[in-house]
Amino acid sequence: MKVTLQNLTKKYPGRGKGPKTEVIAANDLNFEIPDGKLIGLLGPSGCGKSTTLNLLSGLQTPTSGRIFFGDEDVTDLPPQERGVGLVFQNYALYPHLTVRQNILFPLQNLKGAARLSKEVMEEKALEAARLVQIDGLMERKPAELSGGQQQRVAIARALVKMPRILLLDEPLSNLDARLRLQTREEIRRIQRETKITTVFVTHDQEEAMSISDQIVVMKDGVIQQIGRPQEVYDEPINLFVAKFLGTPPINVFMGRVKNQRLYIGDADVLEAPGVADQPVWAAVRPEGFILEKDGPLACALTGVEVMGRDITVVATHPDCENTAIRAIISAENQVDAGAHTVRFALKPHKVFLFDRDAGARLL
């Protein structure tokens, strides 16, 4: 099912009186989710990603704009008529019902012609449980399950009625680190098997990058960038997106462009073709540094972290916004941890230039 958002806007009345205090949680969102894809809605807390999810599910109604599932306008439909499956952040499993009863619940709500026979319901519930591999726990109560198992039950409950789209609200945030890794692969697998168009919300960029077909980066209710994860990572549209994606985070320097050359401090570090003379933000991915004896960028060395395949060089520079520069280089390099300074050259395609005021991409 293709999902289309058209000029979708959600405003909340503010605490005070008048239009100035109102909060715009979603501002004129326009995008299209292709059929059968897994989309990650990504952004810091308060960016409007949860609001967007609630608008999709129908739990909230937009102030203006339309939502289409396929060709059908669902904007005015209540949640139960939209055919969506929703997995809540805290799972919202009914504590007094067993796993089986929880999964059966949405089916038992069907009325009229859509109503299934008891046997078919049981069959479908079991099928959904098998899909998430909890068919051995059907008679347990939610309180008797681990966090990961509860998560699976929640997904099974959302999937059992074969929703047109599946929505996941921060699906991994309540799991510990090890389970998180495992569960996200699981979500990917289930999505691939069912081919249901899936939207999930997260504030963890690594999570979004690792499993999404596409990511949508949001900030202050506005979509910043949409694209395949690698695309967005390689070609961030503005400073916010560049900073938000990637671990360790991108290193941001105060720089200056003069005569199509980029200067950091007094050092001429790189060419900047087509960029007019102006102060800029120069952002360098951790893997964009090349260790070079007489590289143009000199930094004060604070430490070296050897991590098997890679070495992280930790350094400082007076013009760098980050408290510490982190450069990842191959372990084949030799770094003298006792040295005071370390010198780098930069890989041109790993360096982005942004406008100093608006943060828009220049190069």
Partner 1 sequence: MEKKSLKGWLYLLPALLFLGVFMVYPLVDVFIYSFEEGYNSASQTFFGTGIYNYRYVLRDPYFLQALKNTFILVVITVPLSTGLALLISVGLSSIRKLRNLFQTVFFLPYVTNTLAVGLVFMILFKQTPYTDGLANLILGLFGAGPIDFIGGPYWAKMFVLCFYTVWVVMPFKILVLTSALASVDETYYNAARVDGASRWRIFSRITLPMISPTLFYLIITGFIGAFKAYSDAVALFGTDLNASEMNTIVGYIYDMLYGNSGGYPSYASAAAIVLFAIVLTITVINLLVSRKHVHY
The site for partner 1 (CB under 8 A) is made up of 57-59, 78-81, 84-86, 88, 90, 92, 94-97, 105-106, 108-111, 141, 143, 157, 161
Cis peptide leading into 248, omega within 30 of 0? yes
Nearer to partner 1, 175 or 351 (CB): 175
| Contact residues for 299 (Cβ-Cβ < 8 A; gap 6+) | 315, 316, 317, 320, 325, 341, 342, 343, 344
Q: How far is the CB of 187 from partner 1 (least distance, A)?
A: 18
Nearer to partner 1, 106 or 296 (CB): 106
Of 242, 302, 289, 299, which is closest to residue 267 (Cα–Cα)?
A: 299
Q: How far is the CB of 88 from partner 1 (least distance, A)?
A: 5
Nearer to partner 1, 109 or 146 (CB): 109
Of 166, 158, 171, which is closest to residue 210 (Cα–Cα)?
A: 171
Q: How far is the CB of 168 from partner 1 (least distance, A)?
A: 12
Give how far the C-alpha of residue 42 lies from the chain's centroid of Cα atoms, to the nearest Å: 3
Nearer to partner 1, 78 or 318 (CB): 78
Q: Is 282 left (phi over 0), alpha (psi -120 to 50) or beta?
A: beta
Q: Is the dihedral of CA 125, 126, 131, 134 positive or negative?
A: positive
Cβ atoms of residues 42 and 49 within 8 Å:
yes
Q: How far is the CB of 80 from partner 1 (least distance, A)?
A: 4
| Backbone phi, psi, residue 83, to 5° | 70, 45
Q: How far is the CB of 86 from partner 1 (least distance, A)?
A: 4
Nearer to partner 1, 107 or 311 (CB): 107
- Reported in sequence order, the residue ranges of the chain that DSSP labels E, i.e. its strands, are 3-12, 23-33, 38-42, 64-69, 72-73, 84-87, 165-169, 197-202, 214-219, 222-227, 251-258, 261-264, 267-271, 278-284, 289-291, 297-307, 310-316, 325-330, 341-346, 351-355
Both tokens assigned to 21: 């205090």
Nearer to partner 1, 121 or 252 (CB): 121
Q: How far is the CB of 343 from partner 1 (least distance, A)?
A: 54
Q: How far is the CB of 17 from partner 1 (least distance, A)?
A: 19
Nearer to partner 1, 166 or 252 (CB): 166
Q: How far is the CB of 225 from partner 1 (least distance, A)?
A: 29
Nearer to partner 1, 121 or 327 (CB): 121
Hey, what amino acid is at 32? E
Rg (CA), the chain: 25
Q: Are strands 222-227 and 72-73 parallel, antiparallel or unpaired?
A: unpaired
